[in-house]
Structure 1
């Protein structure tokens, strides 16, 4: 699942510099790498462990936001003789640079993930690796884990394998450029096939009941002393590109389930009360959700260009992502009882972003071992039991959520005392309080969240309401109450 994106103008970054620095401090985000780690990274960049297989003749390309340098994935797409497709998918081989127990590994196990803030990121690995020697930048030879997927004419996977190989990307593309080239018919065949394969994989996803959330970017600017929020909906290319990653994560999970030790990303089905809550939110936002329509069908029907639909998609993403957990197993005899990721509707693992997420290095190594019909390395097996607990300590979700909260507080700073239309999306009743006088509302315009209190009447989940903004302070010490409303009236 994608994290909630946010883009911020330079003026907005400058206006919020103090609050953003405090957020980093509160989350204990590292400010830099220790000298021994930087020295180890420089040495590793000069002498990685190179694979025997040479696949540098494969014309791979990457698709990433403009300016990105930490490129985890590159692909080449082609038609197979007789029908169907072949997908080559190269993933950065971090283990070619990092040795278990060395300074780089120790630091990465502390950081766990790359943290993203509106004004920059705190990387998992030193940039000399993540944005240099280990990155799949164009025209440099890089060790990678090279996946090969064969698909039939309907987009179903018929065969997959992964092995170490030396690769060389030919082109660094961006989403907008690829979308324009495909739409205009000027894209090279390997790039144009992303639409064919991506569309087929979306149909396969719909058939199995999976959900992909197409989250719009939040664009934050600062003009004439005020912050402004707008949305940029994801392109079709974003979704097609995500389908290649999801496909690889599902194949990797199946490999581990069939072959021995593994680590999965699982998710229980949404409980009834959560689905009921989302029905109330949809109603309050004016989104028609008939009871015979499934959650997955509704998500696929929404238009992220529409602000209220975008608001619902963001809320749905939060509801889904919080319930995903990692589960590891040492061998085929100890597979966990529940192996499915409910939103994906299949077993799934993280394995396609090792430059930015610790667990992917281990998952990739396990799959290479399965395909080579050999035991996984001891350093992987030794870490497997502790890895789910370590990953749950990652601060990526907290950084995302608190960044959004901070920006939303800034957005409303000059509107304290104003009244807004809103919908009640959470109340104390969900925490077994007999008189729910506190909760959370989502504004209709702009689509932001905030705590709400009611002095006279109980809050009713899903009710439309008029609320007055009492506080909007990015520097307020209680992060949960940076934005605070009081209930004026409920409309029911």
Structure 2
């Protein structure tokens, strides 16, 4: 299943945490912030650059996983008296705290993004900023980039504006609570509108041929005094909230393209052979895919709670590989400028506390919306940003992948020789005795090697755990 961010809960697993510390050392993950960075961050926390516009009357709210304190976005949704909707979307104004060329700025360029491990995170910015005055915490007045969207009755964007403003969030919500309130009909109008507008934006995504992968996540939970891995399918509320972020990313890309200076998140169209391979995988997994049904539409029909569908959704992530960043200045627009999965120009602009590039795209959008020249500090950084972000993304992906491998091996280390029910989700080209299996319980994806017969792609298979070594993060199964 997907190798995505995981969370540890329950008692402290000393051995597992020690192994995760060793992984950080191996990957040369940044440790504590240098003293000069912390000192500058503390000064900035006391005296940020504050905007003139006061929008603290907007009853914004945030939606994040429980316990989150580095809150990048806050939203308010309303029905317009003339028809349609108005969306206010506040994004943390990190540039109000970070001095270009200063110690915090230099350290952010070294770190690039927040790294997530099962036992914690390695933040992009010092906590005194990202978990303090720069975060959109409830009942805290702070600077933000305030986006305003006017939508028609179908959810299409009619007008866009973004400017600096003081904001004040009223509530910190989590996805399960939001979903429960919407499902039971107890949500107040601004929250209920998240469902209505989210569904309209999902319909527009289908119309333009965009792709959303509803892929289950792996989670580490404590069970009877031991750790285990489970799957969790994303809630509809997470998809609705993501649509507001996607809308902002598309609007940000359009603003920068119109101004002739900016940075885009791009993804090339998948080659024909990749789609053909997915068709073969769908057949093997007994997923009906009529030739007249577009790839994006098929994905929306799948149920991530069903093992075969979940396995296919994981295979579909291969079409999203190759994403990168493309910077441009002086009106020299990139070609192509479209993100294939979004099916529109798009950029990252909504998570500046956790991702370096968002601070720059936000700054360029504020200037473009005002018809002003962008600040030179932002323009001068554009040439290096794609390379910096690529290196940071590789490290984040490696940390995530190896963390999952390590936890899987640790969870299974005392179960070598046991047998499990699994589904063969992949078979290696040219070597059909080697592939990948998806276990339903525990929630593990591992390598399988057969000594003789070919592996039955898409079929259930009883497998025996042949090896599980936390020291090498290696898990290997064999047909039982």
The normalised TM-score by structure 1 is 0.90
Given that 2:424 and 2:455 are in contact with CA atoms closer than 8 Å, whether structure 1 keeps it comes out as no
Q: Which residue of 2 aligns with 1:470?
A: 466
Counterpart position of 2:346: 348
Distance in 1, matches of 2:437 and 2:105, equals 42
CA distance in 2, matches of 1:227, 1:288: 37
2:90 and 2:426 mapped to 1: Cα distance? Answer: 42
Q: CA deviation at 1:14?
A: 3.8
Partner residue, 1:432: none
1:245 is paired with a residue whose SS is: helix
Q: Does 1:327 align with 2:326?
A: yes
- Report the CA distance between 1:362 and its aligned residue: 0.5
- Compute the displacement of 1:461 (Å): 6.6
1:441 alignment partner, one of 433, 436, 444: 436
- Tell me by how many angstroms 1:15 deviates: 4.8
Once the two structures are superposed, the pairs formed by residues 124-135 of structure 1 within 5 Å of their partners are: 124-135=124-135
TM-align CA RMSD: 2.3
1:146, distance to aligned residue in structure 2 (A): 0.5
1:259-298 alignment, distance < 5 Å: 259-298=259-298
- Alignment correspondent of 2:382: 384
Q: CA deviation at 1:409?
A: 2.1
- In the other structure, the counterpart of 2:51 is 51
- Between 450-459 and 347-356, report the one with greater CA deviation: 450-459
After TM superposition, give the deviation of residue 46 of structure 1 in Å: 0.2
Shift of 1:267: 0.8
Q: Secondary structure at the match of 2:215?
A: coil
Contact 1:5 1:216 in 2 (8 A): no
In 1: Cα distance, 2:247 partner to 2:214 partner: 17
TM-superposed CA distance for 1:337, in Å, is: 1.3
The CA deviation at 1:18 is 1.8
Q: Are the aligned partners of 1:424 and 1:465 in contact in 2 as well (CA < 8 Å)?
A: no
Match of 1:427 in 2: 428
* 8 Å contact from structure 1 (residues 260, 330) kept in 2: yes
Q: Higher mean Cα deviation, 351-360 or 17-26?
A: 17-26
Q: CA deviation at 1:81?
A: 1.6
Q: Tell me the SS of whatever aligns to 2:7.
A: strand
Deviates more, 1:390-399 or 1:290-299: 290-299
Shift of 1:69: 0.4
| Cα deviation digits, residues 398-445 of structure 1 (max 9, x gap) | 22222222222233323323455442514254xxxxxx2674312253
1:271 deviation in Å?
1.9
Aligned to 1:451: 447
Pair 1:3–1:47, CA change in 2 (3 A): farther
Q: Please report how far the alpha carbon of residue 320 of structure 1 lies from its aligned counterpart in structure 2 after TM superposition.
A: 4.1
Q: CA deviation at 1:211?
A: 1.4
Can you give the 5+ residue segments of structure 1 that lack an aligned partner in the other structure? Answer: 430-435
The CA distance in 2 between the partners of 1:300 and 1:14, in whole Å, is 41
Kindly indicate whether the alpha-carbon contact (under 8 Å) linking 1:285 and 1:444 is maintained by their aligned counterparts in 2: no
Which residue does the alignment assign to 1:336?
334
Equivalent residue, structure 1, for 2:400: 400
TM-score (norm 2): 0.93
- Cα drift, residue 282 of structure 1: 3.4
Rounded Cα–Cα distance in structure 1 between residues aligned with 2:314 and 2:432:
25
Aligned residues: 475
Q: Does the residue aligned with 2:89 lie in a helix, a strand or coil?
A: strand
Supply the distance in 2 between the matched residues of 1:66 and 1:466 (Cα, whole angstroms): 37
Report the counterpart of residue 433 of structure 1 in structure 2. Answer: none
- Answer whether contact 1:280 1:463 (CA < 8 A) is retained: no
Between 1:134-143 and 1:3-12, the stretch displaced more is 3-12
Paired residues of 1:220 and 1:229 also in contact (CA < 8 A): yes
1:12-91 mapped onto 2 (5 Å cutoff): 13-91=13-91
1:359-404 deviation digits (Å, cap 9, x = unpaired): 0000011111101111111111111011001000012222222222
Separation in structure 2 between the aligned mates of residue 346 and residue 361 of structure 1, nearest angstrom: 21
1:209 aligns with 2:204: no
Structure 1 segment 49-198 matched on structure 2, within 5 A: 49-198=49-198
The one-character-per-residue Cα deviations of 1:92-112 (angstroms, maximum 9, x if unpaired) are: 000000011100000000000
What CA deviation, in whole Å up to 9, does each residue of 1:34-53 have, x standing for no partner?
A: 11111011000000001111
Alpha-carbon spacing, 1:281–1:475, altered in 2? closer, same or farther (3 Å)? farther
* In structure 1, C-alpha distance between the alignment counterparts of 2:456 and 2:413, rounded to whole Å: 27
Q: Is the 8 A contact 2:308 2:458 kept in 1?
A: no
